[in-house]
């Protein structure tokens, strides 16, 4: 009976967690009712179980047309100590919509869409290649950078607030990427799909020692 109670408690905890985290339904990335989505499916805009695009590493069964922009104009500053590269990893997937060069409905082999992301969500600007006014991505964030910069926490030891260190929870291949701050499957209300609340700049201050 004790074992059964434990299993029930674990199941309840699991489903409770699923209702508060990782739920794309109802979030800004729920496109099931979008006029340009001829299906009523949520996942298919980005993922497919068959005939996926596997040209990008660590892209889970990708189904959306990728951007061909190369190179992007990346962020630079006299106070920036990191070496910012061209978007890599999952950031390339984000930009397949968010640089504004690929139509939203260009998924599942479609390449003739006419609906493009607009407004503040279009971070590529009118040229689709201008990331110079956005937080830098695709740069190595490690102990050496934190030491050189002096205004960053050491990602190998600093807690992320998500259970582990910055390195463990927020970096991808040791790099800062779009997904370091944004969880595309998350629906924390009106929080911009952030990985954690940013009240009093809490998300920013996870990495920035200010």
The beta strands (E) that lie in the chain are given as 139-140, 175-176
pTM: 0.85
DSSP string, 104-156: TT-BTT---------GGG-TTTTTS-B-TTS---SEE--HHHHHHHSSB--TT
Residue 190: the pLDDT is 56
- Cα pseudo-dihedral 121, 138, 186, 195, rounded to 10: -110
The beta strands (E) that lie in 5-132 are given as none
Tens digit of pLDDT at every position of the chain (210 positions) = 444 443 334 333 333 333 344 578 888 899 999 999 999 999 999 999 999 999 887 889 999 999 999 999 999 999 999 999 999 989 999 999 999 999 999 999 999 999 999 999 999 999 999 999 999 999 999 999 999 999 999 999 999 999 999 999 999 999 999 999 999 987 555 577 899 989 999 999 999 999
Q: Residue 55 and residue 96: Cα distance in Å, rounded?
A: 13
| Cβ within 8 Å of residue 173, ≥6 positions away | 89
Q: Is 178 helix (H, G, I), strand (E, B) or coil?
A: helix
Q: Residue 81 and residue 127: Cα distance in Å, rounded?
A: 26
């Amino acid at each position: 009976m004790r074992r059964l109670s434990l299993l029930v408690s674990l199941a309840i905890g699991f489903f409770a967690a699923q209702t508060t985290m990782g739920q794309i339904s109802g979030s800004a990335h729920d496109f099931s009712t979008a006029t340009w989505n001829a299906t009523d499916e949520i996942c298919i805009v980005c993922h497919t179980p068959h005939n996926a695009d596997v040209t990008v590493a660590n892209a889970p069964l990708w189904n959306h047309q990728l951007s061909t922009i190369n190179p992007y104009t990346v962020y630079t500053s006299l106070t920036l100590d990191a070496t910012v590269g061209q978007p890599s990893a999952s950031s390339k997937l984000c930009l397949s919509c968010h640089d504004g060069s690929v139509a939203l409905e260009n998924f599942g082999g479609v390449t003739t869409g006419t609906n493009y992301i607009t407004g503040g969500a279009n971070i590529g600007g009118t040229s689709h290649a201008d990331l110079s006014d956005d937080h830098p991505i695709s740069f190595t964030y490690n102990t050496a950078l934190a030491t050189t910069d002096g205004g960053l926490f050491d990602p190998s030891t600093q807690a992320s607030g998500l259970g582990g260190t910055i390195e463990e929870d927020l970096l991808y291949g040791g790099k800062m990427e779009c997904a370091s701050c944004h969880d595309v499957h998350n629906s924390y209300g009106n929080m911009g799909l952030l990985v954690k609340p940013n009240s009093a700049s809490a998300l920013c201050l996870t990495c920035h020692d200010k």
